[in-house]
Amino acid sequence: MPATQHDQSVDAVADALLNKGHISEKTFPQEHFHIVPPVAPGSATPTVAAATADGTAAAPALPLLFQPFTAKNLTLVNRVVVAPMCMYSSKDGFMTDYHLVHLGSFALHGAGLVLAEATAVEARGRISPGCAGIYKDDHIPGLKRVVDFVHSTGGKIGIQLAHAGRKASSQPMHTPEVFGPEEYWNDQVVGPSGGPDFQWDDKHRVPRELSVQEIQDIVKAFGAAAVRADKAGMDTVEIHGAHGYLVHNFLSPITNHRTDKYGGSLENRARFMLEVIDEVRKNFNPAKPIFLRLSASDCVEHLDITSFEVNQAVQVSQWAKDAGVDVIHISSGGNTALQKVSYSPGYQVHYASRIRKDVPGLPVVSVGSITSGKQAEEILQNGDADLIAAARAFLKHPTFALDAGRELGVNVNYAPQYFAARYA
């Protein structure tokens, strides 16, 4: 429902109640009548005050996790980031009430930055028919609705700009029966290289090799998406260069066998990514920061094959910084079914630490099985990262940021509607 229609419906309900005498102007002014009351602006959580056992401010320095972070004009009240998570709950790319509740709840419960899921810059760049899109102007109002709510909590929000590459047109992780065969685009799945040898697995489509003109068109699509993100009020955008999607496909020699200027050397394989960064930087608000998510390794060190690995990731991160990336979000894997990943607490922290050490001046987000405030604080105290992102931890506990604060002895400030939870 458009905002004006929503406002009219609220007014109609209020008028009806007033006319029937159920409420009065004196006791319940009409201007305060809201079906869903917004959170008071500026009520971002947590506050910056450590607490002792009796609740008074403590002298020790505030934990790093709850110190502000600034990149360009974006200042976060804490360093807790909600990592992008695909929800497969869109139709024709539109965000819905589900996304408003899902993303809004994280901001309402204190996350410093909420990153919306991988959102496709082309219709054919969606992972599945249920994935979000930002490939037409009609998507802007739905995005802005989510942004406005997050901002009403005092929170900040960004969106991940993505193209699925050879992983496109796949079945959503849950309820695939919702989408009929006509809603897939099996003959439009693309990648830097094409043919059966570049199929992810037998459940995915065989990709077709992109022409140079198509590559340039996709670069432009990223720029157009950045314009839409800014119009929607996003505080930042994150370019998705990880997990086996199109940017990562170009970076890795496993998936990029091109012999033109977009293949071969690392410099050539990084060309597409750098062109995307340049296009996004030119089209996104210059006062706002740009994030890049990068898989620092293909995770095939156990095999005797040429791959994208951490030494190359260091060089690519430096190039990205030079091209205009303000913050880098370090993950790993996702580009080949042959990968071998040893999942354990903080299993990707060493990649973030390496990038932070070898690319001075580029703030780093660490992610991957970070599930407690103490663990997150230790990563920051060790100098391994500047920000901490979590995904599954937020799915399990949308109050993860507040819980981490309490765990670290921080006097967290709940949203007004949830203030009673401080005493639970």
pLDDT tens digits, residue range 141-182?
Answer: 999 999 999 999 999 999 999 999 999 999 888 878 888 889
For the annotated catalytic residues, the residue numbers are 245
- For residue 131, give the nearest of 98, 83, 82, 106 by alpha carbon: 98
Q: Are residues 29 and 58 in the same domain?
A: no
User: Distance between CA atoms of 195 and 116, rounded to whole angstroms?
Assistant: 32
CA distances from 318 to 242, 270, 344, 349, 364 (A): 16, 11, 28, 18, 12
Q: Are residues 13 and 104 in the same domain?
A: no
CA distances from 409 to 202, 371, 374, 394, 398 (A): 50, 17, 10, 20, 19
Residue 174 makes CB contacts below 8 A (sequence gap 6+) with: 88
Residue 40 resides in a domain: no
| Per-residue pLDDT at 108 | 95
The DSSP line for 47-84 is -S-BB-TTSPBPSSPPPGGGS-EEETTEEESSSEEE--
- For residue 316, give the nearest of 330, 303, 304 by alpha carbon: 330
User: Residue 62 has which token pair?
Assistant: 């505030």
Residue 41 resides in a domain: no
Q: Are residues 15 and 129 in the same domain?
A: no
- For residue 322, give the nearest of 362, 380, 293 by alpha carbon: 362
User: Distance between CA atoms of 180 and 408, rounded to whole angstroms?
Assistant: 49
Q: Are residues 80 and 109 in the same domain?
A: yes
Residue 106 resides in a domain: yes
Q: Are residues 127 and 248 in the same domain?
A: yes
pLDDT tens digits, residue range 310-335?
Answer: 999 999 999 999 999 999 999 999 88
pLDDT tens digits, residue range 8-33?
Answer: 433 443 344 334 333 333 333 333 22
Domain tally for the chain? 2
User: Residue 66 has which token pair?
Assistant: 């709850």
How does residue 371 score in pLDDT terms, banded at 50, 70 and 90?
A: very high
Residue 42 resides in a domain: no
In this structure, are residues 407 and 372 in contact, taking their beta carbons and an 8 Å threshold? yes
In this structure, are residues 289 and 327 in contact, taking their beta carbons and an 8 Å threshold? yes
Strands 69-71 vs 74-76: parallel, antiparallel or unpaired:
antiparallel
Q: If you average pLDDT over residues 71-91, what whole number do you get?
A: 96
Residue 217 resides in a domain: yes
Q: Are residues 264 and 196 in the same domain?
A: yes
Q: Are residues 142 and 18 in the same domain?
A: no
Task: Give the domain range for residue 84.
Answer: 47-423
Residue 360 resides in a domain: yes
HSE-CB of 360 using CA atoms within 13 angstroms: 0
Residue 263 resides in a domain: yes
pLDDT tens digits, residue range 241-296?
Answer: 999 999 999 999 999 999 999 999 999 999 999 999 999 999 999 999 999 999 99
Q: Are residues 390 and 324 in the same domain?
A: yes
Residue 248 resides in a domain: yes
Q: Are residues 295 and 161 in the same domain?
A: yes
Q: Are residues 243 and 356 in the same domain?
A: yes
| Per-residue pLDDT at 257 | 98
User: Distance between CA atoms of 175 and 124, rounded to whole angstroms?
Assistant: 20
Q: Are residues 3 and 84 in the same domain?
A: no
Q: Are residues 283 and 376 in the same domain?
A: yes
Q: What is the CATH number of the domain that holds 226?
A: 3.20.20.70
Q: Is the pLDDT reported for residue 46 higher than 90?
A: no
